């Protein structure tokens, strides 16, 4: 049987289908740096202070947009910005007409394979409260973009 994400476009999905696409990796909650000259985007391993380092979930999901002005609600209105998402992000993958990875929770039924396979932020981050923001460049990391 065809999966809903294979037979529907993003705009045809219900809100619960849309939400279920998010694997909960937490990578989109990492601080990013944009190079002034090249406009290249770099991920860091420095996380938003509301990101839980073990569950990889937002600690204040319902209030996040009020509490963190930089927090981005991923929606179809911003589809032209999806290339800023990690390459493993389901929303970006579907826009690029690529399949979901084999470890995606919708395919495996849980987040275990994602975490054990190293596809989430678990065990890899520091909180933005623990660093000097002036030194953010020292925390540039390649893995979140993958
Ligand atoms: S990067 Fe994509 S899949 Fe991962 S938590 Fe963010 S929105 Fe969800
Ligand atoms: S406030 Fe936004 S960026 Fe921060 S952890 Fe929550 S969802 Fe992620």
pLDDT at 81: 87
Give the tens place of pLDDT for each residue, 55-88.
999 999 999 999 999 998 899 988 888 989 999 9
pLDDT at 93: 97
pLDDT at 80: 87
What's the whole-number mean pLDDT along residues 10-27? 96
**Ligand 1 touching residue 23 (CB < 6 A):** yes
Torsion angle, alpha carbons of 123, 124, 127, 130, to 10:
100
Q: Both tokens of residue 35?
A: 């190079």
Closest atom of ligand 1 to CA, residue 74: 7
């Amino acid at each position: 049987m065809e999966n809903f994400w294979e037979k529907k476009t993003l705009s045809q999905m219900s809100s619960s289908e849309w939400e279920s696409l998010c694997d909960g990796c937490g990578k989109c909650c990492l601080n990013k740096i944009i190079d002034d000259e090249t406009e290249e985007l770099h991920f860091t391993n420095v996380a938003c202070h509301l990101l839980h380092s073990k569950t990889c979930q937002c600690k204040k999901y319902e209030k996040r947009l009020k509490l963190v002005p930089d927090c981005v609600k991923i929606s179809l209105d911003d589809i032209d910005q999806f290339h800023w998402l990690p390459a493993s992000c389901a929303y970006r993958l579907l826009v690029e007409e690529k399949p979901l990875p084999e470890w995606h929770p919708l395919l495996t039924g849980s987040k275990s394979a994602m975490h054990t396979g190293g596809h989430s932020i678990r065990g890899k981050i520091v909180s933005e409260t623990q660093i000097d923001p002036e030194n953010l460049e020292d925390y540039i990391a390649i893995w979140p973009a993958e």
